Structure 1
């Protein structure tokens, strides 16, 4: 049965793929966007131009609307979560927030893959005075903002909420983060990768898989946090070597002389593993593929963009 669905942010990367899949399934889709990025959907969707961080604007846009599912790709802080609660509370059947693997990054290494309950999210402090909407602090506040957004949603409890903690998402040329492109560039320039711990594996998933998972999560009736990742985690060192092998190049790497801040040497370089346990999603019926199924293809797509 077609559903009435709102996607907050759906014009870039896997958000765009999410909208495509919802349309293919026959749903009525509205996207909420600031209008800065074009989209390819034409008259197949409805568009609402709105600043997601402006509560008055959000109330004016959606205060009288009802949605079967709201996908929130732009919830980055407890202030954003509070706006969602006040605008969509009692007006949506399901609220799916895109969260992140990085929510586990500040925890002590567990010696195993992280499960959802490792992060005691409802016990997290919420800082309502921090300048969450200051663009200059967007990078430094990303992880704590996501954690506190989850904390606000679950502590409030009025939205039927799922927080999808996605592994690091890799995609083709539409991947605006430039993280996989960084490794392709290093290999093609024959420059050495500085790395910390070659055993510190990280979970990944492909952009299409991220979109597919979000569609699935919106169709279910469970609530709470859920991890999503492909099988086959890789360390930054192993990812660089995989890029070199795929492109028929020689991998050049050197171990850093001292411990560096996480991610400072290269994207996905961490001093300890950051791997997701996906048992919950699998017990609910979702099946993840393996990085071997798609990684080489995505690497080659970035190589074409590099050329």
Structure 2
């Protein structure tokens, strides 16, 4: 297939491009060029700033027809509307990265029907948070009829090469035997591994999957289990304090917040439980950060 990827040089987007290439697809990436193309000689590369309506890269996008488009960098209604206008008549399928954040601060676990973009009314006066931006993107794209749309609602994505280093933050504190502050040890959470996110993106594209899909590990655990795995990784008991106000707690939540990936599993995608990869990831990061 001839596939356009908006983004694709960072984290799980980069993993998805690598996998598409490994599967023999013809891939073009479109990026601002801030990062070097890691696939030189294997992909075409369009220089494009998606925030600029009149950027010259859009003409290059419009010069071709695409079997599928994967947008990993769509965060606002304006960007979704621009993509809709540019891609009209040029593709039949658009896939994009959404987020668990569309469910807001409700108590999870979340099923896909807990947020319906078809009935969502965009309020132009509302503050645009990350979650609100993704809600508006979904609303714009699912209400159009020019191409079929697939949204990937991921929770927090973790892996060895997570550039945000959210899990690394806890590893470093544990290694220094510093106090780890959490909101709620009983709150259930789940995450997805970066490689699994890439696997799912490619699987969905190759199988022409359509609609809204939660995708995460199929096992939610209380945050106390995350702490137990962390203690096992670093080899000693941790100092953990439960607080209402914390300066930085990138993985901890105040209440249950996780997505239920039953729909993806029922469609045939194989999902690994959190316990199959999280403890090993912690051990690898502990070894790396201990050097």
With normalisation by structure 1, the TM-score equals: 0.88
- Kindly indicate whether the alpha-carbon contact (under 8 Å) linking 1:75 and 1:81 is maintained by their aligned counterparts in 2: yes
How far apart in 2 are the matches of 1:237 and 1:61? 50
Moved more, 5-14 or 196-205: 196-205
Which 10-residue stretch deviates more, 117-126 or 31-40?
A: 117-126
Q: Is the 8 A contact 1:235 1:268 kept in 2?
A: no
Structure-2 residue corresponding to 1:178 = 165
- Match of residue 130 from structure 2: 142
Q: Distance in 2 between matches of 1:304 and 1:37?
A: 28
Deviation at residue 304 of structure 1 after TM alignment: 3.9
Distance 1:115 1:55, change over 3 A: same
Give the Cα separation in 2 of the matches to 1:65 and 1:236: 48
The answer to whether the 8 Å contact 1:78/1:128 transfers is no
Consecutive unaligned residues in structure 2, runs of 5 or more: none
2:92 aligned with 1:74, yes or no? no
The secondary structure found in structure 1 opposite 2:35 is coil
After alignment, is 149-158 or 119-128 more displaced? Answer: 119-128
1:56 is paired with a residue of what secondary structure?
coil
The 8 Å contact of residues 195 and 265 in structure 1, kept in 2 or not, is answered as: no
Structure 1 residue 276: deviation in Å? Answer: 1.2
What is the alpha-carbon distance in structure 2 between the residues aligned to residue 216 and residue 51 of structure 1? 27
Shift of 1:297: 2.6
Is residue 2:232 matched to residue 1:234?
no
Q: How far apart are the structure 2 equivalents of 1:8 and 1:144?
A: 21
State the alpha-carbon separation in 1 of the partners of residues 166 and 221 from structure 2: 14
Q: Does 1:164 align with 2:152?
A: yes
Deviation at 1:142, TM superposition (A): 1.1
- Counterparts of 1:7 and 1:305, CA distance in 2: 31
SS of equivalent to 1:65: coil
Partner of 1:93: 92
For 1:270, the equivalent position in structure 2 comes to: 253
Give the superposition deviation at 1:147.
Answer: 1.0
Native 8 Å contact 1:79 1:128 kept in 2: no
In the alignment, structure 1 residue 212 sits paired with structure 2 residue 199: yes
- Is this contact kept in 2: 1:104–1:274, CA < 8 A? no
SS for the counterpart of 1:181 is: helix
Instruction: Give the Cα separation in 2 of the matches to 1:87 and 1:156.
Output: 13
1:125 partnered with 2:121: yes
List alignment gaps of at least 5 residues for structure 1: 133-140
Tell me how far apart the structure 2 counterparts of residues 269 and 121 of structure 1 sit (CA, whole Å): 27
How far the C-alpha of 1:102 sits from its partner, in A, is 1.7
- Paired position in structure 1 for 2:25: 27
Q: What's 1:302 paired with? A: 285
SS at match of 2:92: coil
Instruction: Provide the TM-score with structure 2 as the length reference.
Output: 0.93
Equivalent residue of 2:51, what SS? coil
Aligned-residue CA RMSD in angstroms? 1.9
Corresponding position of 2:141: 153
Distance 2:101 2:187 in 1: 14
Deviation, 1:128, is 4.8
Q: CA 1:56–1:202 in structure 2 vs 1: closer, same or farther (change >3 Å)?
A: same
Cα distance between partner residues in 1 of 2:278 and 2:158: 8
Could you tell me whether the CA contact under 8 Å between 2:92 and 2:146 is conserved in 1?
no
